[in-house]
Structure 1
Amino acid sequence: MSTPILICDDSKLARRQLARSLPDDWDIKVEFAEHGLDCIEKIKEISPEILFLDLNMPHLDGYGVLQAIQEQGLNVLTVVVSGDIQPSAHQRVMELGAIDFIRKPCDAQKLEEIITHHGIKDKAIRANLVHKLGEQLEPEIRDIYQEIANVAMGQAGDLLARLLNVFVELPIPNVNVLEVNELHMALQAIDANATTSGVCQGFIGGGVSGEALLLLNDSSFKEIASLMKYQGELNQKVELELLMDVSNILIGAILTGLSRQLDMPFSQGHPVVLGQHCEVSELVKANKSRWQRTLAIEISYGIEHHNINCDLMLLFTEDSLKTLKYKVAYLLDD
């Protein structure tokens, strides 16, 4: 049976070009939608298994389509095809449930690579992908995770502020369920132009497990040493000690904060140095085999009037999602 495909773009030329670029050996039936509202109606009408979606369209743009797909529980795998190549656009569509992002104009070879990478010619693989998308965070659950992380983040920031006698700038935590390739991109996006040192520490407790990953921009060490009143030579050994001090404070405090709110004690493993003075891509390359599908909570700390930047990511395993959801469900009760 032919696989139903929907191509949504307000440009007739773009629709036809994409259709012609699909693999010749793929048994598919292609339908078209001219804008976002038309797309939602077509999804309900013909139940396509795969949607190739433009972003900039009249009536309802691609972001609105992705949001409607989530809110209405429509089962379709979406690949965004757009000329908008800003990193923020890429990140936003992935957060809204797209499985990949292709830059316009997309050629047949690039399209084939995306299709092969995700294995979406195979019906069983498509079904598994749809199942995983169905497990994405509901808005209410995401809000709770964000608030819990916000409280724990504040406690960790307070400890750091007291230690260094500074004002710690606290962001809104970023919460997402990410596949390994998406996590790889998220980590690389932290600071692609700077070298970084990183520490990872595992934790486990009550059916929940994961790793806390701390990345410290190398330009931060000099000012951290000054704030901590260190007078000696700033060599690699000293920088390692400073890195471990910061990670012990932030990771320990945030896990304690989460533990208290979830009523779930965590046992912490020994911290492991991922690398010093590396590009983030190198830290990720060496360790990404351990990071599969994960609930990722990202927190970026800054210190007012100082060039100190620190990113903390909590990576919960896929097996932890069900337990975490159960633990926070009572907070949704009226």
Structure 2
Amino acid sequence: MSTRVLICDDSKIARKQLARILPTDWDVEVEFAEDGQEALDILSSSDFDILFLDLNMPVKDGYETLEALQSFEQAPAVIVVSGDVQPKAIQRVRDMGAIAFHKKPASAEELRSLLISLKLFSVDSDDLQSKVVAEQQTAAEQFTLNECLQEISNIAMGRAASVLAEMLNVFIKLPVPTVNILEVSELQMALDYSVKKDSCSAVSQGYVGSGIAFETLLIFSDSSFPDMAKLLGVTDTITRELETELLMDVSSVLVGPFMAAIGKQLNIDFSHSHPLLLGQHVKIADLINEKKATWKRTLAVEIVYEVENYQISCDLIMLFTEDSVPTLENLLSFLVEEDE
């Protein structure tokens, strides 16, 4: 009898990659869900043996899905596959019923070993087995630049959050990265929504490599500084100089691992400038005006990091130059073709 597998991930690329690396000698029937709510709807009407579950998704995320599954009379075995590698995230999903966690991106060999160790798959050379994949996921499926960039950013986001979480001994709440081509006015609106009416401080840093140039912008709500100082064990009076030091420290912890993970996935060693304090206790409009001539129309990747149970929030934004977009698109297309 076939093993019924449901793969739940908001990324088409991640769904395809995971389906592709399932053991080819496994008698398995694969279907897909784009978010936790869709997965729960499918599982409510049909029985599945295994659910591969992402964590960071819209509508209903992996944690909410695991919580809902606890009320199911017959729930599938859940294996979380996520870019969020925080130790507290891994422990949290295990406590909520997941039988295993695997970091993105997974390899065929790693996944095969995991399934064998969990006794969900065994090798039987006497059987001719096949993998049946739902029609909605085909080998000929095309992926957009935004989808590709969102998925590699999602993986990099998790690596960076893990480093910050370990440094502060906290749990970082992670969003789904947003990827858009924006005019400067649209960028200001997006940042105004994230930072709201609070003043903010920002650090920028330039990166270049293999024909791709971009700037990272890390923006902190000024209301984040007291809790940030507390978590870092700082007892001194918070001066502007101390705020700058905290800002630079957290910037290096978040941006460094993020860029290392992006570079590894793209196989590029990016060179970078020194971090620059772009503004301190300013409004978003002031930051935008400072760089308006440079940014104009840009491809932007935005990630909002929040620390659970603390008043700490920051935006990490990658702003690509217009000239970089065709090169980046070609490179990401090539990487997707290699995965097929």
TM-score range, shorter chain: 0.5 to 0.7
Aligned equivalent of 2:310: 306
Q: Deviations over 1:73-108 (max 9, x none)?
A: xxxxxxxxxxxxxxxxxxxxxxxxxxxxxxxxxxxx
1:192–1:280: 8 Å Cα contact kept in structure 2?
no
The residue type equivalent to 1:232 in the other structure is D
Alignment of 1:81-100 (within 5 A): none
> CA shift at 1:142, angstroms?
1.6
> CA shift at 1:289, angstroms?
1.5
Q: Does 1:163 align with 2:164?
A: no
Aligned equivalent of 1:145: 149
TM-score by length of 2: 0.56
Root mean square deviation of aligned Cα = 1.3
> CA shift at 1:139, angstroms?
5.4
Aligned equivalent of 1:236: 240
Q: Does 1:321 align with 2:325?
A: yes
Q: Deviations over 1:3-60 (max 9, x none)?
A: xxxxxxxxxxxxxxxxxxxxxxxxxxxxxxxxxxxxxxxxxxxxxxxxxxxxxxxxxx
Aligned equivalent of 1:39: none
Aligned equivalent of 1:262: 266
Q: Deviations over 1:226-260 (max 9, x none)?
A: 10011211111101100011111111111111000
The residue type equivalent to 1:156 in the other structure is A
1:168–1:301: 8 Å Cα contact kept in structure 2?
yes
> Distance between the aligned counterparts of 1:140 and 1:323, measured in 2?
14
Larger deviation, residues 243-252 vs 284-293: 284-293
1:187–1:284: 8 Å Cα contact kept in structure 2?
no
Aligned equivalent of 1:249: 253
Unaligned runs of at least 5 residues, structure 2:
1-141
Give the direction of change, closer, same or farther, for the CA distance of 1:202–1:320 in structure 2 (3 Å limit).
Answer: same
* 2:324 aligned counterpart, secondary structure: helix
* 1:318 aligned counterpart, secondary structure: coil
The residue type equivalent to 2:259 in the other structure is L
2:188–2:284: 8 Å Cα contact kept in structure 1?
no
Aligned equivalent of 1:192: 196
Unaligned runs of at least 5 residues, structure 1:
1-137
Aligned equivalent of 1:176: 180
2:184–2:288: 8 Å Cα contact kept in structure 1?
no
Alignment of 1:20-35 (within 5 A): none
* 1:229 aligned counterpart, secondary structure: coil
Which is richer in helix?
1
> Distance between the aligned counterparts of 2:335 and 2:270, measured in 1?
20
> CA shift at 1:312, angstroms?
0.6
Q: Does 1:281 align with 2:273?
A: no
> CA shift at 1:180, angstroms?
2.4
Alignment of 1:54-73 (within 5 A): none
Residue among 237, 259, 275 paired with 1:271:
275
> Distance between the aligned counterparts of 1:139 and 1:303, measured in 2?
32
> CA shift at 1:185, angstroms?
2.4
> Distance between the aligned counterparts of 1:285 and 1:248, measured in 2?
25
1:212–1:315: 8 Å Cα contact kept in structure 2?
yes
Residue identity (%) = 44
Q: Does 1:215 align with 2:219?
A: yes
> CA shift at 1:276, angstroms?
0.8
Give the number of aligned pairs.
197
> Distance between the aligned counterparts of 1:301 and 1:191, measured in 2?
12
Aligned equivalent of 1:154: 158
> CA shift at 1:144, angstroms?
1.2
> Distance between the aligned counterparts of 1:187 and 1:289, measured in 2?
18
> Distance between the aligned counterparts of 1:178 and 1:139, measured in 2?
20
TM-score by length of 1: 0.57
